[in-house]
Chain A
Amino acid sequence: MTSYLIRNAQILGGAPKDIHIADGVVREIGEGLTVEADVDIDAHGLIALPGLVDLHTHLREPGREDAETVLTGTQAAAKGGYTAVHAMANTFPVADTAGVVEQVWRLGQESGYCDVQPVGAVTVGLEGKKLAELGAMHDSAAGVRVFSDDGKCVDDAVIMRRALEYVKAFDGVVAQHAQEPRLTEGAQMNEGQVSGELGLGGWPAVAEESIIARDVLLAAHVGSRLHVCHVSTAGSVEIIRWAKAKGWNVTAEVTPHHLLLTDELVRSYDPVYKVNPPLRTAADVEALRAALADGTIDAVATDHAPHPAEDKDCEWAVAAMGMVGLETALSVVQQTMVDTGLLNWEAVADRMSYRPARIGRLTGQGRPISVGEPANLVLFDPAYRGAVDPESFATRSRNTPYRGLDLPGRVHATFLRGRATVLAGELADRDGLA
């Protein structure tokens, strides 16, 4: 296995140090290391962070390989600095059986660019009616611990309660897509000033907040762990803050796009801005940033949702919801959280690696950069500034809302257990990863 000597990297933004990686682990950290390594990397000016962990990725395989495959999705993840992603269950067929989650898990193993931890569906076919075989998915080779009907809300209070209770047996967590279905019939965008003017069906904040309020109470009642997906409103933040203050076992994530973009962009009617939950107002963005800064929101999760061009190259109403995000997440977090002084790099590591790994109960991921730990890390150049060019993406889809936008920072290298999946910004050859 190739060994690396990374010179003068700022670990979590600290003073420059050398990092020696060999046999998949961090061998040595220090100043002016003299060890021999196969590859020397000059990391002057680069930040070293633990490999990022995404709690919320749509890899689309099986079923929508025209949008993404496990291979292209994990390549995109590696380019974004990720070493582990949670693959959402809304595939075709739905990942609601041990067979499907094992298939996804195996495809991830074969890819070699990034660990793939399948998420299992909470209910059969994501229909919200009948519990899927949660235990079987946990017991499978995929070892599923995160369950979600993401894309749909487990809106039946009894089903939600049972799922929360049931997964306690194997330390699982239910990740809820909080969306009251009746309040969001025909919803096209955030309900507010802009939806009223544009004549687009409104997706009110209360549809998210009412479900979160119910779920934190349910989780408290049955003593279970709850994770809230893609929190998008200031009101949701308040509820989660309250639940955490009560000492209840609730965690939450926010997407990069909800940290940066607002519903004003919808005025263009360009479906690249169509996403679920929808882009909210500037006040929501501000509340989400503050919540991520103070830890009320535990993690940044991409909700990377690739769609083929034809699903976006159409009128708003029929366009698919979602944005790709793996390859821009760290840059958006730098812009919205680091450059604004809300988070330092140590806290970025916490929100994008340690905590998501802990929520997903991943072992060997989200570990600190220290001697003896698995060598999962990313070298990031925060001084870079440049326009986002979707044509350079590894993901199969191009539905990014950041096309042409100047964003700071770029991933220089990503290491997965000591192997470079990305080096000098370029994806490694797949043969070298096997």
Chain B
Amino acid sequence: MKRHLVSTADLARDDALLILDTAEELAQLSGRAVKKLPTLRGRTVVNLFFEDSTRTKTSFEVAEKRLSADVINFSAKGSSVSKGESLKDTALTLQAMGADAVVIRHHASGAPARLAQSEWLHGSVINAGDGTHEHPTQALLDAFTMRRHLNPGPGRDLAGRRVTIVGDVLHSRVARSNVHLLTTLGAEVTFVAPPTLLPIGIENWPCQVSYDLDAVLPKTDALMMLRVQRERMNAAFFPTEREYSRRYGMDGIRMAQLPEHAIVMHPGPMVRGMEITAEVADSPRCTVVEQVANGVSIRMAVLYLLLGGATLADSPRTDSSETAQ
């Protein structure tokens, strides 16, 4: 594994499987009376959130606390270069505080990559979602959820499994992270969206593209519905909410077209009545709640694998202790 988790494109198949297998082991913890491990005692993890995200932030915080890390929540919402502290100064501050890892959520695509490449900060950088770029831990928990349902067992991948991702691909960091990771794990990805919500150049991505949801459903093992923000209507990405739901929304009739074993996923928060009806969201095939639980296990696995062993910050200390003996 690299020192940072910025993009799922950086994860080789073995890295991805190691994370999934570790998460599988850590998932057992939730059934125990004491849901805590001493592993990251003395490590400081900063949750640096420039954007509201109760779900992701809570999930990371639970994961960090279960591993006994010292958790600092650094809410930087509303801060910008013009109004307040720059990303650089914030990073320098966190470095001075001795952060071993920074979990960053930022509205600007590339901010975590910038932090990881900079000299501002020596700790690990974990991308908790950047702009419309990536959200690697979400993709990992999605893959984890799919593997549990479609090919359970340690060391297993998603070879040949057909994953259909529906919705606002253009603005989705979840879609980008998923397409890299799922492809690495051998799955076949199909995006379904109105052409206005697909990025230019998608024909060169390692995926299929369709404008016809009904045609794809019978050939789907895992269906992932992406959130569609109502504001997109105002920018003429689609005419009305009703038309969007009719063409690309998931309802009971469409759910019946899925193979029996197929699951319906959603990264949340769901916009009920828009991309998904209550009938689908509340059905036993929908894994939304399970995904949330899996998110904690995945984030624990990532934190453990990045911080649990020797890190860059440790190496000088290790050297000196060895020469002292």
Contacts and interface: CB of A to CB of B under 8 A. Distances in A.
Contacts of B108: 315-318
Contact of B81 (A197, A198, A204, A314): A314
Nearest to B50: A315
A193 B201 contact: yes
A38 interface: no
A196 B111 contact: no
B199 A316 contact: no
Nearest to A311: B81
Contacts, number: 78
B201 A198 contact: no
Contacts of B133: 198-200
B201 A192 contact: yes
Interface string A190-223: 0111111111101010000000000000000000
Given A269-B110, A315-B114, A316-B109, A197 B88 contact: no
Interface string B174-186: 0010000000000
Interface residues of B, number: 28
B131 A314 contact: no
Given A199-B133, A315-B106, A316-B109, A191 B114 contact: no
A318 B131 CA distance: 12
A373 B202 CA distance: 57
B117 interface: yes
A199 B132 contact: yes
Interface in B127-147: 130-134
Contacts of B107: 317
B134 A199 contact: yes
Interface string A169-209: 00000000000000000001001111111111010100000
B201 A196 contact: yes
A273 to B, nearest CB: 11
B163 to A, nearest CB: 19
Contacts of B109: 188, 198-200, 269, 316-317
B87 interface: yes
A6 B321 CA distance: 67
B200 interface: yes
Contacts of B176: 197, 199
A268 interface: yes
A17 B132 CA distance: 60
Nearest to B113: A269
A188 B111 CA distance: 13
Nearest to B179: A197
Nearest to A320: B81
B266 interface: no
Interface in B182-196: none
B270 to A, nearest CB: 22
B204 A193 contact: yes
B87 A198 contact: no
A269 B131 CA distance: 13
A310 interface: yes
A316 to B, nearest CB: 5
A196 B199 contact: yes
A268 B117 contact: yes
Contacts of A204: 200
B229 interface: no
24 contacts: A192-B200, A193-B200, A197-B199, A198-B109, A198-B110, A199-B130, A199-B173, A202-B200, A268-B113, A270-B114, A310-B81, A310-B86, A310-B88, A314-B114, A315-B87, A315-B108, A315-B111, A316-B109, A316-B111, A316-B114, A317-B107, A317-B108, A317-B131, A318-B108
> 5 shortest A-B CB distances, which residue pairs?
A196-B199, A269-B110, A199-B133, A317-B108, A193-B201
